[in-house]
Amino acid sequence: MQLVVSELLKELVLLRRLRHPGVVQLYGQCYDNSAHPDIRVTAMLELGSPLEMIQLLQTTWEERFKVCLSLVKLLFYLAHSPLGSIVLLDFQPRQFVMVDGNLKVTDLDDASTEELSCKDDNDCMLDFPTKSFILKCSAAGKCEGINEKKNLFNAYRYFFTYLLPYTAPPGLQPFLSDILNATGDLRYGINETLRAFEKVLHLYKTGIYLQKRPPLLQEYISLQGFRTRETQDYKCWPSYSHLGCLLSVHNAEEAAGICNSQPQCQSFIVTQQRTWTGRPLAAFRSHLPDLIPDANAAIYIKRSASSREKL
């Protein structure tokens, strides 16, 4: 029991020292030596929801990328923390929670700042179930970057491989493949990985990733000053709404391309709603709904649909 208390106190010290958006907040703690051993140490932590990978796989690519980017930023911090390079020895998805849509590590009882001592490179073996790596033994007799590399490969095998590639925008897939290959072979350290993720984020937010193609918006009639009533319509996956097809887009041109690729789609509106990247959400419709005046909105209707409806 004394060992359990000691481990908990060690974890609380880490939570106090590590201040980062990716580390769950410690609000307070108390130690009562006269209390029963089971309740001698009490801590109040930020409340989060357990990370459910199956549920996460059903979300949009943009939300899954956010989780991976948050994890990379956390691992960058742990590699350069005030306490030295920190490794999560029992790195599992169950160590993380979601707080207001953000990933946070909540279990630090197996975290360590110790780096493996060595005499030569053969002492710096990093073993995983499917791969092994030999790292460099430094002149100081320590395995260079072993804590950082262990965290990074675990992030690759538990998070990146499942969350990054699936339903990713085609224009970003080569960059994501590079990240997967480089982290899966440990050719990247955490610094290079963070730069690669930030490059993908830049390409996505600016729309540079969009593949060049003939303009599609000219196939639509634009009705400025109108929006549609939110009603149930055809579903698409993954959608930001259970009522219909609501997707993140860079602009109306990209929305037109999505509408053209969906046989049910006859119109769309780029809404005022924004995702965490600042991109607007577009609602796609299978019919021409009632229009509501809105000076800040515009609805785009396929010319073919417009002619059929004789608008």
Options 90, 120, 121, 185, the catalytic residue: 90
The residue out of 208, 242, 264 marking a domain boundary is: 208
Look at residues 190, 208, 226 and tell me which one is the last residue of a structural domain: 208
Measured torsion, CA atoms of residues 299, 305, 306, 311, in degrees rounded to the nearest 10: -100
**Token digits of residue 139:** 């002149």
Q: Convert the pLDDT of each residue in 182-222 to its tens digit.
A: 999 999 999 999 999 999 999 999 999 998 888 899 999 99
- On whether both 227 and 119 belong to a single domain, the answer is no
Average pLDDT, the chain: 87
Condensed to tens digits (0 to 9), the pLDDT of residues 6-50 reads 566 666 667 777 888 998 877 666 766 665 655 566 666 677 899
Based on the domain organization, do 204 and 238 belong to the same domain?
A: no
Say if residue 121 is in the same domain as residue 188: yes
Number of domains present in the structure of the chain: 2
Same domain, 164 and 203: yes
Task: Tell me which residue of 200, 295, 277, 210 sits closest to 240, measured CA to CA.
Answer: 277
Residue 36 within a domain: no
Known catalytic membership, residue 90: yes
What residue ranges in 243-307 does DSSP mark as E strands? 245-248, 267-274, 280-285, 291-302
Work out the pLDDT band at 251, boundaries 50, 70, 90.
very high
If one compares 43 and 61, the residue with the highest pLDDT of the two is 61
CA distance 119 to 249: 54
- Identify whether residues 169 and 62 lie together within a single domain: yes
Is residue 203 domain-resident? Answer: yes
pLDDT band at 311 (very low <50, low <70, confident <90, very high): very low
In this predicted structure, what is the pLDDT of residue 48?
Answer: 85
Same domain, 103 and 74: yes
Residue ending a domain, among 208, 239, 271, is: 208
Cα separation, 38 vs 229, in Å, equals 56
> Worst-scoring range by mean pLDDT, 28-37, 93-102, 169-178?
28-37
pTM of the model: 0.88
Is residue 8 domain-resident? no
Domain that includes residue 121, residue range: 52-208
- Tell me the two tokens of residue 83: 């306490």
Is 197 found in the same domain as 58?
yes
Same domain for 175 and 228, yes or no, is: no
Considering the domain architecture, whether residues 80 and 189 belong to the same structural domain is answered as: yes
Q: What is the pLDDT of residue 230?
A: 77
